[in-house]
Structure 1
Amino acid sequence: MNDLVLKGGRVVDPSQGIDKVTDIAFASGKVAAIGDGLTGKDTRNVEGKIVSPGLIDLHTHVYWGGTSLGVEAELVARSGGVTTFIDAGSAGPGNFHGFRKHVIETSPVRILPFLNVSFPGIFAFSKTVMVGESADMRLLDAREAARVAREHKDLVLGVKVRVGKSASGDSGIMPLDIALDVAEEVGLPLMAHLDAPPPSRHEVVSRLRPGDILTHCFRPFPNAPVRPDGQVRDEILAARQRGVIFDIGHGGGSFGFGTTRKMLAAGFLPDVISSDVHVISIEGPAFDLLTTMSKFLCLGVDLPTVIKLATVNAAKAINRPELGSLKVGSVGEATVITIAAGKFDYADSIGERLEGDRRLLSAGVVLAGKWWHPL
């Protein structure tokens, strides 16, 4: 007997090319079946709703209580439909142990971290205090970062570094080079944040390896990936060609509608849509992953593709093929989504507005094959 059946929803699973109205069953913490007429101990009518694989947010900050920028993963999951949070370097070698013990291991939703190359992680990020953790080179110890990454190799997905005028100040490109050394030493990918120059977009992107992630990839000028004439910059095209992963990472200052329109018009989709939700961006303009996905929907990207960029593509980016899919035998996670119609006011990170006609809202989450209703 199945533990849970979601009946009559539009099942959209890009990992299998499925987009149809049917039932989906879960048993023993796994996806058990997809098809009509399924029965289970707990049956939920989801007619008129979307059933997608559990959403994966590739860029979040959920070290709540241990860093100033962290939000509570459980609350965001209940309201925003995310089942896997990728923490993008909130913790560094000096405080990663606390993140693991007090937040990750006690969380009802999955949290998978990137380790910040800077010893204290992102330690001073708020509306009133903002100090880039890569600005002081005394905080970057490659050996310590490698040691902690190895010590927690069962959990750490990769190495995170933030560079740019805000994040690295006069240190420029040096933190990135150190982080790349650490990533190579421990055999893990790198996630690179880039804000305003210095360093330049070209300096950063040209260094990234296959499987590395450039987050904030559709940021507005300066360091935007597209020229004023709408042509995608050569170093961006070359990076995609060699296998660099392009992640949205909306956040509070890293996503522009103007850039996005030009990139989409040039046929350059991001590989992954993520929110970069933190203590500031959760109040807007990012809010959460579903809001960021909604913006792409309203900019003309079709629903199956939007879901693909927040499920199977995100799972591939972190090399976790058991996630982001509703294949039989996969982890028993799903997000139930309502598409609301109306007039919705969206903003990017520099204040441009977009009036959209749709918004994606969470109507429920399945975790470990059981219903986990939102607040």
Structure 2
Amino acid sequence: MTFDLVLTGGRVVDPSQSIDAVTDVGFADGNVVAVEDGLAQLTNNVRDVTGKIVTPGIIDLHTHVYWGGTSLGIDAEEFARTSAVTTSIDTGSAGPGNFAGFRKHVIEPSETRILVYLHVSFAGIYGFDPVVMVGESHDFRLMAPNHARRVIEENRDVIVGIKVRIGRHASGPQGIAPLDVALGLSDETGLPVMCHIDEPPPSYEAVVAKLRKGDVLTHCFRPFPNSPVRGDGTIKDEVLAARERGVYFDIGHGMGSFSYRTARAMLAGGFPPDTISSDVHAFCLEGPAYDQLTTMSKFLGLGMPLDEVIARSTVKAAEAIDRPELGTFRKGAVGDASILSLVAGEHRLEDVEGEVLTVKERLMAEGVVVGGEWWYPK
């Protein structure tokens, strides 16, 4: 067997197979072929990653990468370089009215993978910046489930779910009703819903009570108000019931949706997030979210083991979007890999409330493999 690329000498951490060992990873024809010792002698294209961590390609389940098409959008390829994210899941930047432009001008030219939760609102998240803040779910005339159904049927190769935003800022006078529209579209198409929640109304409990197995609640570790925990730190009953049903709880850090206080209470209650995501967009690149690796590093600082942090950004994220070929080094899987380092020091990482956690080590990007080829740095 010959290989197109072998990564050698790195600490391979693949939670999907319970692998945590210094070994080689071999790629051929765009896929993973083997994870075992001695592969480097079988090809001339070897990358020595000794001292680095090698993981399946990192998946950020909540991003906004419709660059140039919305005020939120960042460049997915630049994000991959700085955060070693090989698959960006865009969550609602585009709706059925502007998805065609997103696909043609951003998704198809991108050398890194972009998958999509299509917004049920016609133009997606179109009016969001520090000065102009228009909640797209405020106006029910913009709910477009019929248009969205047609766009989904034509683009199932890249659309993995349906996005809706609920809360005082996002849906305002419409309350929880846009979620009902999204759930109806889900029933029609068979795709899960990702639901954003911000400040009440409606309450966290009311929103999560409507979600079903396979749906995702993002911004799940929000601060008060609309936190999943009570003032005494106990987890709300509706939250526990939703996990029992199979609802996924996603971090979606962003500008205002991740609190250390909430995270500590949830972890102490035996309720880690299912997935860790950044909600990276143009207005949180300089903090408090920064990027996916910073968000992951915050959980290391909170005491979550490295393999669990990686699992929630690889195999668990792939499970949430029903793409088992991603987030794993199993033979035949897509040949994506993220090469990371754990940098020791005194790293000060803030949450959305301004609390600073000083962590002793943080993850940094060192390299990216996409489709079995070394992609960055050249």
TM-score range, shorter chain: over 0.9
CA distance in 2, matches of 1:89, 1:73: 15
- The corresponding residue for 1:266 is 269
CA distance in 2, matches of 1:310, 1:185: 29
Secondary structure of the residue aligned to 1:74 is helix
1:282 partnered with 2:282: no
Secondary structure of the residue aligned to 1:170 is helix
Q: CA deviation at 1:154?
A: 2.6
- The corresponding residue for 1:160 is 163
Instruction: Report the AA paired with residue 4 of structure 1.
Output: L
Deviates more, 1:9-18 or 1:145-154: 145-154
Q: CA deviation at 1:173?
A: 0.6
Q: CA deviation at 1:372?
A: 1.4
CA distance in 1, matches of 2:301, 2:336: 26
Instruction: Report the AA paired with residue 352 of structure 1.
Output: E
1:80 partnered with 2:110: no
Alignment of 1:306-345 (within 5 A): 306-345=309-348
Q: CA deviation at 1:351?
A: 1.1
Instruction: Report the AA paired with residue 290 of structure 1.
Output: L
CA distance in 2, matches of 1:173, 1:180: 11
| CA deviation string 1:174-231 (max 9, x = no partner) | 1111111111111110000000001111210110011000000001111100112221
- The corresponding residue for 2:205 is 202
Q: CA deviation at 1:129?
A: 1.3
| CA deviation string 1:245-290 (max 9, x = no partner) | 0000000110000000010011101000000000011111111111
- The corresponding residue for 2:57 is 54
Secondary structure of the residue aligned to 1:283 is coil
Instruction: Report the AA paired with residue 21 of structure 2.
Output: K
Q: For structure 1, list consecutive stretches of 5 or more residues without a partner in the other structure.
A: none
Secondary structure of the residue aligned to 2:20 is strand
- The corresponding residue for 2:23 is 22
1:169 partnered with 2:179: no
CA distance in 1, matches of 2:176, 2:25: 49
Alignment of 1:234-249 (within 5 A): 234-249=237-252
| CA deviation string 1:294-341 (max 9, x = no partner) | 000011000000000000000000000000001121111100000000
- The corresponding residue for 1:145 is 148
Identity over aligned residues, as a percent? 61
Alignment of 1:122-141 (within 5 A): 122-141=125-144
1:103 partnered with 2:115: no
Give the CA RMSD over aligned residues. 1.0
- The corresponding residue for 2:196 is 193
Instruction: Report the AA paired with residue 256 of structure 2.
Output: G
- The corresponding residue for 1:352 is 355
- The corresponding residue for 2:4 is 3
Instruction: Report the AA paired with residue 327 of structure 1.
Output: R
CA distance in 2, matches of 1:361, 1:215: 24
Q: CA deviation at 1:58?
A: 0.2
**Among 45, 70, 75, the residue aligned to 2:73:** 70
CA distance in 2, matches of 1:41, 1:303: 32
- The corresponding residue for 1:43 is 46
**Among 210, 215, 219, the residue aligned to 2:218:** 215
Secondary structure of the residue aligned to 1:282 is coil
| CA deviation string 1:15-68 (max 9, x = no partner) | 000001111111111112112221222111111110000000000000000111
Instruction: Report the AA paired with residue 139 of structure 2.
Output: D
Deviates more, 1:134-143 or 1:189-198: 134-143
Secondary structure of the residue aligned to 1:177 is helix
CA distance in 2, matches of 1:28, 1:60: 28
- The corresponding residue for 2:236 is 233
**Which runs of 4 or more aligned residues in structure 1 lie more than 3 Å from their structure 2 counterparts after TM superposition?**
none
Secondary structure of the residue aligned to 1:281 is coil
Instruction: Report the AA paired with residue 263 of structure 2.
Output: T
**8 A Cα contact 2:114 2:158, kept in partner:** no
**8 A Cα contact 1:79 1:374, kept in partner:** no
Q: CA deviation at 1:128?
A: 1.7
CA distance in 2, matches of 1:248, 1:49: 26
- The corresponding residue for 1:297 is 300
CA distance in 2, matches of 1:173, 1:41: 58
Q: CA deviation at 1:147?
A: 2.1
- The corresponding residue for 1:182 is 185
